[in-house]
Amino acid sequence: MKKTRLILTALYALPLAVQADNNADLKKGERIYKQQCATCHGKQGEKPAMGQSAVIRHFTAEQIVTALSKRKSGEIQGAGNSVKERLSESDMKNIAEFLTRQK
């Protein structure tokens, strides 16, 4: 009975996860990333930017949005903060979804 309940719960949650992913504008995320981020972070987030940041390639979308938000607010200081200050919340989510789908 527990196994059935777990399977049903997982199946119910699946469409919600897919719906959340579909809200992202991947083309916009790709454009912003390539124009403003790739020079320092690499084409797929594989480089530590300016030798100071973490390699973001293996971050989850949530981790990417959190890191961008903390940089934008100044909670995390670094060379890329001025770029992050110009990003909207939707820009951050679009970039995060673009990067996590590159894996």
pLDDT of residue 102: 84
CA distances for 1 relative to 5, 11, 13, 32, angstroms: 6, 15, 19, 48
Residue 42 has pLDDT above 90, yes or no: yes
pLDDT of residue 45: 95
State the pLDDT confidence band at 89, using cuts at 50, 70 and 90. very high
Domains observed in the chain: 25-100 (1.10.760.10)
* φ, ψ for residue 85, nearest 5 deg: -60, -25
Question: What's the token pair of residue 82?
Answer: 């001025």
Taking the CA of residue 100 as centre, how many other CA atoms within 13 Å lie in the half-sphere pointing to its CB? 15
pLDDT of residue 10: 42
pTM for the structure as a whole:
0.75
State the amino acid at position 49 in one-letter form: A
* φ, ψ for residue 64, nearest 5 deg: -65, -45
